[in-house]
Structure formats: structure tokens, C-alpha cells
Structure 1
Amino acid sequence: MTTVAYLEKLNTEQRRAVEYGLVDGSSTSAGGPLLIIAGAGSGKTNTLAHRVAHLIFLGADPQRMLLMTFSRRAAAEMTRRVERICAEALGGKGGGDVLAWAGTFHAIGARLLREYAGAIGLDPAFTIHDREDSADLMNLIRHELGFSKTESRFPTKGTCLAIYSRAVNAEIPLEQVLLGAFPWCARWHAELRQLFAAYVEAKQAQNVLDYDDLLLYWAQMMQDEALAEEIGGRFDHILVDEYQDTNRLQASILLALKPKGQGLTVVGDDAQSIYSFRAANVRNILEFPKSFTPPAEIVTLNRNYRSTEPILTAANAVISLAAERYAKNLWTERRSSERPQLVTVRDESDQARFIAERVL
């Protein structure tokens, strides 16, 4: 199996994205920053997997590659695809345990924090609280401070944790978070500030980090120039999936890892930015190219493999209304005479029921 043979499965734009920055067919030059704008159903995962596999095929050290996704399932699927492509390209060799550094932002952060704990004054034996554990600790402190017995109802433990999490991930003041996303809680500004201070103290006393801390501590660690240079220098290539769903903390970590953008590839679609409740900021992907000098290369994947032409016509019309966006026009070879239907339902349950009934 030659290099050309497995790349021939890709369309022109996909192949351009896969081969970008590889000078004279070599991976020794990491290349400048690359932004892949991948429209819905355009083979984004396949393209990213082929880029990783192609780099390995050309000699890039997989131990010096960092691949970050937004779920463990996505990371596992990406790894499987890369291993399958590598095995195919290398004639059955190199198919196992290719990527040593593949996972979610939080998982990679936890791994690096344990490794560099001594350098930042952190006990490497820290415990990681999941959301439920964090909410329970928040509730305990909420009760100890007497906020659970107020005359008018104080925000629940889940709401308190959501407010705290947004403030941390969006890197904005508490008052701004309350006014922008939780206006019904604004009256509790002073009490919430007291609660969050006590929550942080409790975590430190118990040697506990929550999910937000995994990003916060990592970002703070990257403010040390020597550490940032050392950690960034461990990776020749960094690839990030679903970049439209990153928050400010994650973007700052990425730019600190590769301030000049060498070997940096991010994939995403500004039209699919849907995780605002996680403090995701669509400006990260909109402003990515001009974060570097010269600006990042942009490759757009327009061909859709999932939907029919009438559906894409409707989707393109909706997307075109965005005030600020990357220009793209999804197209497909799948024809259909059936036009999309506009259906009004009462709520999410009705929506699910309607779809299930139509499928059946």
C-alpha cells in the first residue's frame, strides 16, 4: 500500500488538509498553524485521522503528538481510526497503541498536572472530583454557611456549581456571569462570592481538584514561560477536534503550548457552536487565524456525505444569516425530490416522540 493509495480515498479538500505543511513529503517540518473548517457531514473525523496517520507514515514520532477531543469516546474512536489507517498504510505494522497522548482536555490536563505537580507546588496525589462530588462539596459548604436556610430560596447546589464553573472557564468576573447567564441569582452576589471562596479553601485543604481546576491549574502552569516552553516542546504536532466548543481557558492553553502555531491543527465549524453552557466561546475559532503571524492557513470542507441536496439548501440558507462566519456552501451528490418539512412541537419530549414515530 503506497502513500497515494490511502490518500486517494479523500476528496480534494480533505487531502489538502491532510497534506498541509508537509514539505517535500516529509513530516520533519511541522508546518504553520492550520484551521480546518469542517461543515456538517463533511468527513471531519476521517480527515483528522488521516492527517495524524499520514504524519506517522512519513516519520513523525507518535509519542510526540498530542490529540485532544471533547469526549473519551471521541478520543477512542479517533485512536482506532488512526491505528487502522496506519496498519493499512504500513502493511499491517504500526497498528497498535499508536497515540500515547490522545484524550480530552481534562484528561490530558490531569496527566500533566500530576507530572509537573512539584514544579507548581501541588501535591501529585490529588484527588479529582467529578461533577456530582463537586456539587456535594458545594452543598456542604452552602449548608455550613447557612445559605440553605435563607427566607427566599438560595440557588441550588447545581446552580451554584454552574455559576462557579462558568466564571472559571470563561475567565470573567462573577458579577458579569450572574448578569449575563444567571440574572435570577444576581441578588446573591456577595453570598456566592463567600461560598466560592470557602469552596476553594475546602478543596485545597482536602487536596482535591474539580474538573474546572484541571483546566485552570494547567492554564496557570502555562503562564510560567520555562514550563510552557518545556511542555510545548514535548509535542511536534498538536491536533484539536471540535475547536468551536473550546472556552477561553482551553484556547489560552493551546496558544501557550504553540505560541507560533508550528505543528498546530484545529478542526471545527463555527456554525456548530452549541455548547455555550460550558462557557464555549465561538470567538476562539473565528479569531484563530489572526492569532498568528502570518495568519493560519484555512482549509474548508464543503462536501457533505450525510444529507440530501434539499436539506443542504435549507441549511445553507440558515447558516448564511449569521452576522459573522466562515464562508462555506455545503453540497452533495445525493439528490432527492423530497423537501424538508417544518414541524412545530411543544417541547423536547414531543420532538423526540415525533421523530421516533416517523422512523417507526
Structure 2
Amino acid sequence: MSTPAPSTARGAAATAPPTVEELLDRLDPDQREVATTLTGPLCVLAGAGTGKTRAITYRIAHGVLSGRYDPQRVLAVTFTARAAGEMRSRLRDLGVGGVQARTFHAAALRQLSYFWPKAVGGQVPRIVEHKAGLVGEAAGRLGLASDRLAIRDLAGEIEWAKVSLVTPDDYVRAATAAGREGVAGHDLTTISRLLSVYEDAKSERGVIDFEDVLLLTVGILSEREDIAAQVRGQYRHFVIDEYQDTSPLQQRLLELWLGDRQEICVVGDVSQTIYSFTGATPRYLTEFRRRYPDAAVVRLVRDYRSTPQVVRLANDVLARAGRARSSAAVELVAGRPSGPPVTFDVYDDDEAEARGVATRIAALRRSGVPASQIAVLYRTNAQSQVVEQALGEAGIGYLVRGGERFFSRPEVRDAIVLLRGGARAQVEGTMPEHVRVLLEGAGWQPEPPAARGAVRERWESLNALVQLADSLHETRGADMTAFVEELLERAAAQHAPAVDGVTLASLHAAKGLEWDAVFLIGVSEGLLPISLAEGADAVAEERRLLYVGITRARTHLTLSFARSRAAGGRGSRRRSRFLEGIWPEEGSGGRRVARGPRTTTAPTTPDDVDDALLERLRTWRAQVADRIDKPAFAVLHDSTLLAIAAAQPRELRQLAILRGVGPTKLQAYGAQILAVVRGEEPTLD
């Protein structure tokens, strides 16, 4: 069951792992409490932007570096493969390797593949990647007329039943109790029959689906105590992230992993529960103390991501829900200096809204905000088309999150083949220099092409690999072999590097991400909440979706909607009910009011910033950027300079808690920044 620890990066630039004291000194008091509570059960109620990933990663690192944890005996369960890859990367940067960070499905599949020959015999059946074919076949056997969209909805209902541990025989009762009223025009009895026929079709083909991976693992661990004991012997400490989105099936698997032990740390935020329609439920988080009366509970409330203006809006949106707040909910406290006001825009139609957003993005780009730090978020994927057109016409690069996976792109696959071959060659120069030479053979060039579309997208993909090489060489001293190993691991986990373009994403796809600037479009009735949301619970989840979107923004946040879908149409749309009492009234003259399409100006400087210090910091940054031959924002973003100029830190510990100053930046520039704050001339290394 155990696997060898990943290879450590090699090279002279690699830094020694921190001591336990150095590790804990980087945390605020609440985060430190999480990191020093090494025995369970522990429940962490973590608001958006409060550093929960940092806290639990440092907890694991503290346990390993202090000798309390064997890294091979730790299983950290994350919501996405990307989050798992990021956690493994952070742990390696802290000098900790060998920790298993996986999704529920990835961990279960690994166990199922290992134990299937012993428990069942032979190889694990093939997993069907998409249900559509099997669902269509089952519907056909029942004489049900179903188009592509109906098949998709039926597949979603099958997934809900399975992760909710609902059998075909019990479906009608369970669906009625859950308030589900049928799918794709079919009543509950018909769907119950479909569930049964779908399972028959699967069995006849000898295949399983993704939910079966969890169900079969649960079955083996339930029936084979010897196998369950072996798994429990392998894993001693469990960390479960995004616990508010756990399904009954995932919870059952977790209980089987644990047995009668209590070495579990769960982390979640009920205010970010946005996957109830898939079978996820926050009740395991809210009832954690009921199951574990002696559990320690730590609240992370200090938001280091967003400005006070963004935090205030996020809190206001939840506060106006009109019903009692859950005792597990967290009210955010702003931990950053003041920033620009939140902007509210109203446009005549969708195209005008898209053009207005493109204009504002262009202004942000001119003010120094990188394209990769800007996002446009929306409720439905169909809303992206008009924004894509407007950005294309404005010559602004973008990527649609949820499109083709990064490591599935032909240029990326070809590049990895080149890099693997290059790793075996002996060449002079640094790893990043070697990567650049190799990728020039795949079409990369130092300057982006003027062309848009596929040519630019290909360059962006290759340039993301170049930037990743720079980052790994800087943070870990990685050589070519270590770089290729990292790429292969990321490819397996679909942990893509950042691509330099404006991100377009649905609110669901934006969960867990953050940007310097966020545009929330279409915040009107019928879209947010969406017209399909019926009942108080469904509408409450739509409100949480808006909250998630708001809290993705670090500094700049704009909310907008269009009165009409098409130009010249009747302007019947009105702003979302979630913003009643928040959205500035027409003609109020407030700083946050913005009506109709307009060109924005560069971000304003907050009132509590020392202008003289800010100018000294900018001069220092320009000198460093010139010295290392990189753009200024690659040293520190404008938002980070603003935070430093407002906080005026006097010690490295005070500097380390500011947004944008990670361990690498702190080590490289910490002493220089403190010298600038003191009014001294920094020594440029």
C-alpha cells in the first residue's frame, strides 16, 4: 500500500526546510492553534481567504518535522485533484515529502486497485469516463425519449442517488423526502426503473462508473475486516478539506478508514456550501461536535485575501439572508489595508455589459494588473460567449476554465516528450535556460505572438511551462530531472500551471480560486438566483454562490447586470434580490455607483497608505526588476506594495502575514523591504 516519497528537488538553490519554530512563526494565532493541535478530533471553521490551506498544510508539516507524524501515514483528502497537487507542492516546499494528498475518488481507486485481486479476484473492471452512453441505452430499453440535455440531467440524478446511498428500490421514498420532483419530464417511479436498468446495462458490459469506485471500496472495507485493518494500519492521521461538501457516500468511506479512532481534522465553511444538488451536505460539518463531543474547534476569521471593501460586501450578502445564521458560520474580519471601492454597473444589454467589462479589464492591465490575475465570473456557462467575443475584439487573451484540460492539449503533450528527452542530455546552463531552448523547438518564443486565437493559446500553454520552470528553480533549485518529474505528477493529477490570460469561469468552477480583480456579471433575477431555484433551500444556495464569487476577489471587484438580453430589447431585468439594500440607488452619488458602460481609471490609493513609503517601495521594486530582468509585478504586485505601505512592518514576522509575501518572497526580499520601510537604502543581493 505504501509508496515511496517523491524525489526531492536537486540543485544549489534549494533551501533547507524550516525549523518547527520558524514554521509556526509564519502563522497568526488562530492558524497557529490549528497547526499545534496535532491530535484529533479537530474541526476548523475557516472563512474564505483566512488561510485554511496554509493552516492545515503547516499542521501536517509541524507533525512531520516534530516527529509526531510519519508522512507515509498521513492522508489528506481534498475536493479536487488540483487542490491535492497544490498541497503536495506546498508540503515539498516546506521540506515534507511522502504525504498522500488525494481526492476521495483517487484514494479509493488506489485502494480498490490494490485490494480487488485479493477480495474479488482478477482486475478491477474498466471505469467508464462518461455515463451518457449507458444512460441513453437504459432510457432506450424503457422506451423513454431523451435528447442530449435530458440524458445529462438523468445522469446527474443517477449520481445523486448513488452518492446519497439511495438504491433503486428506495429511490421514490428518498427523492420525495429530499424534495426532488423528477428529472427531464419523468416522474420518480420512472427514474427508479431507470436506475435499475442502468445498473443492469453496466453489469452486462462489465464496467463500473466513478461512483462505483467509492461504493465498491466501501463494500470491501465493510465486508473484509482484514482489509479494513490493513488500510487503518497504513493511515493514522486524516485531514479532510472542504468538509461542507462531503456526500453520505464519502462520509461512509471516511468512517471505514477511521474505524474507532479519532485522529481526524476536518476543515470547512458552511457559507460556501454550493454543491447540494450533487448530494453534498454540510450536516457532517455542522454536527461534528455531536459525533465528537470532545473535539477542539478553531475558527479562522481573519481574511488575508480581500480588502475591507470586499469583505464588507461578502458579510452583508450573507447577513441579509433573513434567517438565523448557522452556529458554524464564520463572519469575516478584514485583515488587509483599505482598497478601492466595490463598483456596481448597469448596462442596457448583454453585449454592452461585455464591452464594458472588456474596457475595464484593459484599464486594469494598463495599471499593472496581470491578465492572469483577472477573472470574469458568471452563473451559467452560456454567459461566456458574449464576453469571449468582446475580449477577442479588444485583443485581450483569455482562457475558459472547464474547457480542454491543460495536460490534454497537443502542444503540452509534445512539449513534455521534448522535455523528457532533454532531461537525459548533458547541457550547460540552468534548468530554465535549458527548458527555453527545448521549447523553442516546439514553437515557443520569448515574446507573445500578435495573432489571436489558436496561435496565441498555443503560445500561452508553452509559456506556462516556462514560467513553471522558473518558479521551481527559484523555490526548490529543481534541475531538469526534477522538473520533468513535477510535470508528470501534475499531469497525473491535472494540476495545471497558471496560464497568462483573463479567466472566464462559472461560479461553481471558481470555487477555491482567487484573483486580484473579479468581474461578476449577470447579477440579476433569473440568473442569480437562477430561475430554476425553487424553494428556500435552493435560493439560499444561490446566495452562497454569490458569496463565493465575491470572496474570490483580492482587491478589485465589479458587479454588473444588463437590463435586456439583446440591444433594443425591453429592459425588464432587475438586480438580484441578494443585493437589495446593498446596491447603490440611482443618483445616490456614492463612490460605489457606476451606471452604464464607461471607462474606469487606474485603481485609487487607499487613504491609510504612506504615499512617500509607497513611492520608495516602487523605486526599490523597479531596481530589483531591472536587476533580475523581469517585469515589476513579478517581484511584487501593486496590491502587495499597498499592503506594505499601509502596515509598515518592522519585523519579518509582520511582513510574512501580508498577502503576496510568501516564503520565497520573504527570503529573497524581506530584509530589503524592511530597510525601505525604515527609510534606509536597501542592499540589493
**Residue deviations 1:183-224 (CA, integer Å, cap 9, x gap):** 455743333223221221222233311111112222333433
CA contact (8 A) 1:32 1:261 kept: no
TM-fit CA distance, 1:240: 1.2
Residue of structure 2 equivalent to 1:20: 37
Residue of structure 1 equivalent to 2:579: none
CA contact (8 A) 2:181 2:187 kept: no
Structure 1 distance, partners of 2:237, 2:352, is 45
Q: Report which of the two structures shows the higher radius of gyration computed on alpha carbons.
A: 2
CA separation of 1:4 and 1:241: change in aligned 2, threshold 3 A: same
Query: 3-state DSSP class of the match of 2:342?
Result: coil
Residue of structure 2 equivalent to 1:137: 134
CA separation of 1:307 and 1:201: change in aligned 2, threshold 3 A: same
CA separation of 1:6 and 1:283: change in aligned 2, threshold 3 A: same
- Which runs of structure 2 are paired with 1:61-72 in the superposition (5 Å)? 61-72=70-81
1:8 to 2:25 alignment: yes
CA separation of 1:229 and 1:246: change in aligned 2, threshold 3 A: same
Residue of structure 2 equivalent to 1:90: none
CA RMSD of aligned residues (A): 2.9
Residue of structure 2 equivalent to 1:148: 145
Unaligned runs of 5+ in 1: 22-30, 87-93
Query: 3-state DSSP class of the match of 1:32?
Result: coil
Residue of structure 2 equivalent to 1:166: 160
Structure 1 distance, partners of 2:260, 2:355, is 50
Q: Flag the structure with higher helix content.
A: 1
**Residue deviations 1:240-269 (CA, integer Å, cap 9, x gap):** 111111111111221232244522111111
Residue of structure 1 equivalent to 2:40: 32
Residue of structure 2 equivalent to 1:324: 326
CA separation of 1:259 and 1:355: change in aligned 2, threshold 3 A: farther
Residue of structure 2 equivalent to 1:257: 257
Residue of structure 2 equivalent to 1:91: none
**Residue deviations 1:113-143 (CA, integer Å, cap 9, x gap):** 122224543643311112x2x2112112322
CA contact (8 A) 1:270 1:325 kept: no
Query: 3-state DSSP class of the match of 2:294?
Result: coil
Structure 2 distance, partners of 1:257, 1:348, is 50
CA contact (8 A) 1:18 1:50 kept: yes
TM-fit CA distance, 1:57: 0.9
Structure 1 distance, partners of 2:353, 2:239, is 36
TM-fit CA distance, 1:341: 4.2
Residue of structure 1 equivalent to 2:556: none
Residue of structure 1 equivalent to 2:188: 189
CA separation of 1:154 and 1:314: change in aligned 2, threshold 3 A: closer
Structure 2 distance, partners of 1:174, 1:168, is 10
CA contact (8 A) 2:127 2:207 kept: yes
Structure 1 distance, partners of 2:269, 2:351, is 28
- Which runs of structure 2 are paired with 1:286-325 in the superposition (5 Å)? 286-292=286-292, 294-320=293-319, 321=321, 322-325=324-327
Structure 2 distance, partners of 1:350, 1:209, is 47
Residue of structure 1 equivalent to 2:110: 111
CA separation of 1:348 and 1:7: change in aligned 2, threshold 3 A: farther
Counterpart of 1:11, as a letter, is D
Structure 2 distance, partners of 1:102, 1:61, is 14
Structure 1 distance, partners of 2:315, 2:194, is 46
CA separation of 1:347 and 1:15: change in aligned 2, threshold 3 A: farther
Q: TM-score, normalised by structure 2?
A: 0.45
Structure 2 distance, partners of 1:108, 1:78, is 15
Counterpart of 1:112, as a letter, is Q
TM-fit CA distance, 1:20: 0.1
Counterpart of 1:282, as a letter, is P
Counterpart of 1:334, as a letter, is R
CA separation of 1:143 and 1:102: change in aligned 2, threshold 3 A: same
CA contact (8 A) 2:45 2:299 kept: yes
Structure 1 distance, partners of 2:234, 2:242, is 23
Counterpart of 1:85, as a letter, is L
Unaligned runs of 5+ in 2: 1-17, 363-685
Structure 2 distance, partners of 1:84, 1:349, is 45
Query: 3-state DSSP class of the match of 1:36?
Result: strand
Counterpart of 1:244, as a letter, is Q
Query: 3-state DSSP class of the match of 1:280?
Result: coil
Residue of structure 1 equivalent to 2:248: 248
- Which runs of structure 2 are paired with 1:44-59 in the superposition (5 Å)? 44-59=52-67
How many residues align structurally?
A: 335
Structure 1 distance, partners of 2:296, 2:328, is 13
CA contact (8 A) 1:163 1:182 kept: no
Structure 2 distance, partners of 1:352, 1:229, is 57
CA separation of 1:352 and 1:8: change in aligned 2, threshold 3 A: farther
Structure 1 distance, partners of 2:291, 2:19, is 36
CA contact (8 A) 1:203 1:209 kept: yes
TM-fit CA distance, 1:278: 2.0
Structure 2 distance, partners of 1:38, 1:274, is 16
CA separation of 1:234 and 1:127: change in aligned 2, threshold 3 A: same
CA separation of 1:63 and 1:195: change in aligned 2, threshold 3 A: same
Work out which structure has the larger RCO, using CA pairs closer than 8 Å and 6 or more positions apart in sequence. 1
Answer with 72-81 or 185-194: which moved more: 185-194
CA separation of 1:328 and 1:351: change in aligned 2, threshold 3 A: farther
Structure 1 distance, partners of 2:179, 2:253, is 25
1:84 to 2:100 alignment: no
Q: Identity of aligned pairs, percent? A: 31
Structure 2 distance, partners of 1:38, 1:102, is 19
CA contact (8 A) 2:181 2:188 kept: no
Q: TM-score, normalised by structure 1?
A: 0.82
Residue of structure 1 equivalent to 2:285: 285
Structure 1 distance, partners of 2:351, 2:273, is 23
Residue of structure 1 equivalent to 2:202: 203
Query: 3-state DSSP class of the match of 1:299?
Result: strand
TM-fit CA distance, 1:232: 2.4
CA separation of 1:190 and 1:2: change in aligned 2, threshold 3 A: closer
Structure 1 distance, partners of 2:193, 2:269, is 39
Structure 2 distance, partners of 1:277, 1:289, is 25
CA separation of 1:15 and 1:154: change in aligned 2, threshold 3 A: closer
